[in-house]
Amino acid sequence: MTFSSAVPVLTSPNTRLPDPWISPADGPVAVGGDLSSDRLIEAYEKGIFPWFSDDDGPVLWWSPDPRAILILEDFKPSKSLRKVIRKGHFRLTFDQAFSKVVSACAEPRPNSRETWITPNMQRAYIALHELELGHSVECWRGEELVGGLYGISLGSMFFGESMFSRVSNASKVALAGLVDHLSRWRFTLLDCQIMNQHLRSLGAIDIPRNQFLSLLLENRRYTTRTGPWGQSVEYN
């Protein structure tokens, strides 16, 4: 893979990520560097995230335009999802099986042999979890982990990374539980990064990158809620 000479290369741990306000919208904003916790925190604070599929290649850093987000107060689960929730077939927990959720999210999707959640990526987010910044939602049916999601919490925003579902609706129930959980703590927004049909069906919208970056600046006013989110709920 080749990149424009205008794309910054992170040659050392001290090289800062670029300003995404003036970065290209249709490609990586930077190449190289590492996945240290300090680097990842810097990235999320700037509206940048890593996304690549080969640990043997360079880390690619992205800040797409437009940006997919879910405004928590606008989240409206569908009638069918509300019906699934009311049946009470699922139990949700928070931060009880973070590494298992990440591993499940890393499994290749149907009709694909690749995953962007590489072993190095998994270790990096587990390290953020150990710093009490990475959080997971687990969806259980009995004692079986059937769905979930994970992401990063900074200020009043949650930066979703990935979700998985081994039975129908499990990831949707996990997301609904997360939105309810975050709303109680007065979070405002869930970053979904890049839009897809599944996210759109859950209420995600696209906004211009500059608008997202403005929201990030406002987010700096809020203190990050650290600590484990250990909690188990019968979600219905």
Other beta carbons less than 10 A from residue 11's beta carbon: 9
CA distance 4 to 200: 32
CA distance 175 to 148: 8
3-state helix, strand, coil in the chain (%, to 5): 30, 25, 45
Q: What is the pLDDT of residue 76?
A: 82
Is the distance from CB of 193 to CB of 160 less than 8 angstroms?
A: yes
* pLDDT-wise least confident of 37-41, 91-95, 173-177, 200-204: 200-204
134 pLDDT tier (thresholds 50, 70, 90): very high
1-57 tens-digit pLDDT: 555 558 999 999 899 999 999 998 889 999 999 999 999 999 999 999 999 988 889
Of all helices (H) and strands (E), which one includes residue 190? strand 189-193
Full set of structural domains in the chain with CATH: 9-64 (3.30.70.3550), 68-234 (3.40.630.70)
Residue 149: name the closest of 161, 160, 135, 163 by CA: 163
* Mean predicted lDDT score pLDDT of the chain: 92
